[in-house]
Chains A and B, each alone.
Chain A
């Protein structure tokens, strides 16, 4: 067995085990830490696929940004030692059945399809190529989605501030009415 196969199996095992822990752990903080392991192993897979830039983005944005945000919100909304109530047996059995059925269907479909191996030489991905493609408006340029994403990020930032802001006039009134 070659070295890269061993590394792939290692990453795959980490991803599968910690994904299952993420959705089944009854302590929410442990679930968040499992999610961190899953995201870091995914970055490892990106390195194996030779997408170094995307692996760095994954580490910085997902592992560094989103997980920290999730852990902050967990600490703000629940006690660390608090355990979530167990899932009802009926619900978990039916969900597991649906999920396993879907998984079998998808995996058999994948295994039946014969993917054509290509002999095209891989393009060398470097920062210059990525930057030029992001701002190019020719064929193979991505300037429109790039601009859309920047508007979306601005809108999301403003929306997050507005929503989480404390004490707008309407919410004060609602609070008084409620009491």
Chain B
């Protein structure tokens, strides 16, 4: 199935994706943009888990289930984050993190 594609290719691809996500996390000032960067980071981690599972331990299923649980946690996180973002927008009329700097309500 994976003849000719070394494991390192998957790991390099995942690390590029991870660090692009980190870059977005550092430079974005929009809450939804930050959320999308976090999704990129989580997704790159999933690629690593599955590649290790398939190449190094093909007789086991830990990588598959860990990725499954990461996807579930990511879905829960996105739902709560978007609820918070909508609430912030309702109170401050902006989703820019630099204009949301008080928590005294």
Question: Which A residues form the contact surface with B (CB < 8 A)?
Answer: 2, 4-5, 8, 12, 15-16, 19-20, 22-24, 28, 31-32, 35, 38-39, 42, 45-46, 48-51, 53-54, 57-58, 61-62, 65-66, 69-70, 72-74, 76-78, 84-85, 87, 91-92, 95-96, 98-100, 102-103, 106-107, 110-111, 115-118, 120-123, 125, 129-130, 133-134, 140, 142, 145, 149, 152-153, 155-157, 159-161, 163-164, 166, 171, 174, 178
Q: Are A23 and B40 closer than 8 Å at their CB atoms? A: yes
Q: Are B58 and A23 closer than 8 Å at their CB atoms? A: no
Question: Which B residues form the contact surface with A (CB < 8 A)?
Answer: 1-5, 7-13, 15-24, 26-30, 32-33, 35-37, 39-40, 43, 46-47, 50-51, 54-61, 64-65, 67-69, 71-80, 82-87, 89-91, 95, 105
Interface of B is mostly: helix
Which residues from B are CB-within-8-Å of A174?
A: 91, 105
